[in-house]
Amino acid sequence: MPVLERSLRYLFIPIVITFLYIVITQHLSTIWQGWLPKINELPYFLLGISAVLALLFNCWRISYLSLLLLGYYYFESSPALLPELALLSQEQVILTGTLIITFFATFKDRALFSIYFFKTVLAIGLCVILTLGWSAVITHLSSVDAGLLPNTLKLLTSLYAPIGISCIVLCIFTIWRATGVDSAIMVTLFIWLFHFYLPDELPLSILLTILALAYLTSILVRSHNLAYRDELTGLASRRSLNTLAHSLNKHYCLAMVDIDHFKKFNDTYGHDVGDQVLQLVAKKLSKVEGGGKVFRYGGEEFTIVFTNKNIEAVLPLLEEIRRKISQYNIVLRNQRRKNQSKLNRDEGHKTNPVVNITISIGVAEQHGETSFENTLKRADKALYKAKNNGRNQVFA
């Protein structure tokens, strides 16, 4: 996916939606003001639920953040506890929170109950130490010589500069990783900073409710992707095809695509290279024209569905994609590439083996009352014939 599309999807749109939620909630203040005592309880439930659900779906970063925010909310809403626990100034709290959120953005989701638990606790401790150390340096510099660090510059260096750097790091990771979970972490920073810089705009309970909804949405999207997307190729999965089958009208074309001699390919070059080839074929197939929807049927088989298309219209499109794949030179990457210097890599690139693969396609048209399974079977039979006729061809 191009960087611009990733930035739009995973960075700007989630932030804009969160901002809109905040603005709408502000405008509806007359409605929720009366419910505030009840709303104040909501973060406990919603963040609690998101912590548990995130754990079930292996999004431990969301789980940790939910728990940390729950803790913060508990202390914020219990004034009796605050004086004893206010070890950090407000500025230090903002910075520590920002650093912790940035830490979660740069780390990957790992098992919760493992060595990573201790690493995470250590990292959170390190964020506190970094904040205290940074504040001490700034205070020292300004006390040594007031001219060295005027007041305006002091605030800039002590707070705005590290927060700015954290924001940049977070944006880079959100765009690079391009997942809903990373967008949710970005939204956490947005809400965290909003809470401190515009404290009178919305109560913390409402901000955390909005954030918990963002967490639950990201977990839902992730679980939907797990069910309906193929992890290796990123294509829609067979379950997704079965769901589409219920909503298809009576006129469509179905193509079954199979990579030729893939077992031999795997045996020769290894399963990892086989996986890369599957990803490549998926990418090429998804560029098929005529509005064809591509699914990974299973193994090295793919299905393409063209709604409201005749077989005559579909055949040239499939023929074109078959030709493109067969002519594509796949340069096999050297497995030791990472350990080589750039010069060696450039040299190696010239000597890396180049291979070609081919695909066979079977097509069937549905017109009338026959069931989806029946059309699928006919496409499968056509594929079998394409294989028997010598492979690397489209058979209808």
Ligand X SMILES: Nc1nc2c(ncn2[C@@H]2O[C@H](COP(=O)(O)OP(=O)(O)OP(=O)(O)O)[C@@H](O)[C@H]2O)c(=O)[nH]1
The verdict on 246 binding ligand X (CB under 6 A) reads: no
Q: Which helix (H) or strand (E) holds 360?
A: strand 359-367
Q: Phi first, then psi: what are they for 334, rounded to 5°? A: -70, 130
Query: Which of the stretches 108-116, 154-162, 257-265, 285-293 binds ligand X when contact is defined by CB under 6 A?
Result: 257-265
Strand pairing report for 330-331 and 354-355: antiparallel
Q: Which is nearer to ligand X, 272 or 373 (CB)?
A: 272
Of all residues in the shown chain, the one whose CB is closest to ligand X is 274
The verdict on 302 binding ligand X (CB under 6 A) reads: no
Count of H helices and E strands in the chain? Answer: 19, 7
Q: Phi first, then psi: what are they for 198, rounded to 5°? A: -125, 65
Selected from 225, 266, 286, 307, the binder of ligand X by CB under 6 A is 266
Contact 282, 224 (CB under 8 A): no
Query: Residue 245 and residue 305: Cα distance in Å, rounded?
Result: 10
The verdict on 347 binding ligand X (CB under 6 A) reads: no
CB of 166 to ligand X, least distance (A): 39
How big is the chain by its Cα radius of gyration, in Å? 27
The verdict on 380 binding ligand X (CB under 6 A) reads: no
CB of 301 to ligand X, least distance (A): 8
SS (H, E, C) 250-277: CEEEEEEEEECCHHHHHHHHCHHHHHHH
CB of 210 to ligand X, least distance (A): 40
The verdict on 261 binding ligand X (CB under 6 A) reads: yes
The verdict on 41 binding ligand X (CB under 6 A) reads: no
Q: Is 281 helix (H, G, I), strand (E, B) or coil?
A: helix
Region of 202 please: left (phi>0), alpha (psi -120 to 50) or beta: beta
Q: Which is nearer to ligand X, 192 or 262 (CB)?
A: 262
> What residue type is 152 in one-letter code?
T
Q: Nearest to residue 54, comparing CAs of 41, 67, 73?
A: 67
The verdict on 324 binding ligand X (CB under 6 A) reads: no
Selected from 5, 41, 231, 275, the binder of ligand X by CB under 6 A is 275
**With contacts defined by CB under 6 A, how many residues of the chain interact with ligand X?**
17
Selected from 299, 308, 340, 374, the binder of ligand X by CB under 6 A is 299
Query: Which of the stretches 219-227, 264-272, 335-343, 369-377 binds ligand X when contact is defined by CB under 6 A?
Result: 264-272
Query: Residue 18 and residue 188: Cα distance in Å, rounded?
Result: 10
Among 289, 300, 301, 347, the active-site one is 300
The verdict on 231 binding ligand X (CB under 6 A) reads: no
CB of 294 to ligand X, least distance (A): 16
Query: Which of the stretches 61-69, 105-113, 180-188, 270-278 binds ligand X when contact is defined by CB under 6 A?
Result: 270-278
Question: Is 84 among the residues known to form the active site?
Answer: no
Q: Which is nearer to ligand X, 271 or 338 (CB)?
A: 271
Task: Decide: residue 295, CB within 10 A, 0-12 exposed, 13-18 middle, 19+ buried.
Answer: buried
Query: Residue 117 and residue 121: Cα distance in Å, rounded?
Result: 6
Q: Which of residues 119-158 bind ligand X (CB under 6 A)?
A: none
Selected from 95, 253, 259, 288, the binder of ligand X by CB under 6 A is 259
Query: Which of the stretches 3-11, 32-40, 96-104, 263-271 binds ligand X when contact is defined by CB under 6 A?
Result: 263-271
The verdict on 268 binding ligand X (CB under 6 A) reads: no
Query: Structure tokens of 320?
Result: 């074109």
Q: Is 350 helix (H, G, I), strand (E, B) or coil?
A: helix
Q: Nearest to residue 307, comparing CAs of 370, 365, 354?
A: 365
Q: Which is nearer to ligand X, 47 or 363 (CB)?
A: 363
User: What interhelical angle do 42-56 and 60-76 show, nearest 10?
Assistant: 160
The verdict on 274 binding ligand X (CB under 6 A) reads: yes
Selected from 38, 250, 263, 287, the binder of ligand X by CB under 6 A is 263
Q: Which is nearer to ligand X, 218 or 233 (CB)?
A: 233
Q: Which is nearer to ligand X, 264 or 350 (CB)?
A: 264
Q: Which is nearer to ligand X, 162 or 274 (CB)?
A: 274
Query: Residue 58 and residue 112: Cα distance in Å, rounded?
Result: 8
Query: Residue 258 and residue 51: Cα distance in Å, rounded?
Result: 42
CB of 262 to ligand X, least distance (A): 3
**Cα distances (angstroms) measured from residue 116 to each of 52, 119, 383:** 18, 5, 48
Residues lying near ligand X in the complex (CB under 6 A): 232, 258-264, 266, 271, 274-275, 278, 299-300, 387, 391
Give the catalytic positions in this structure.
300
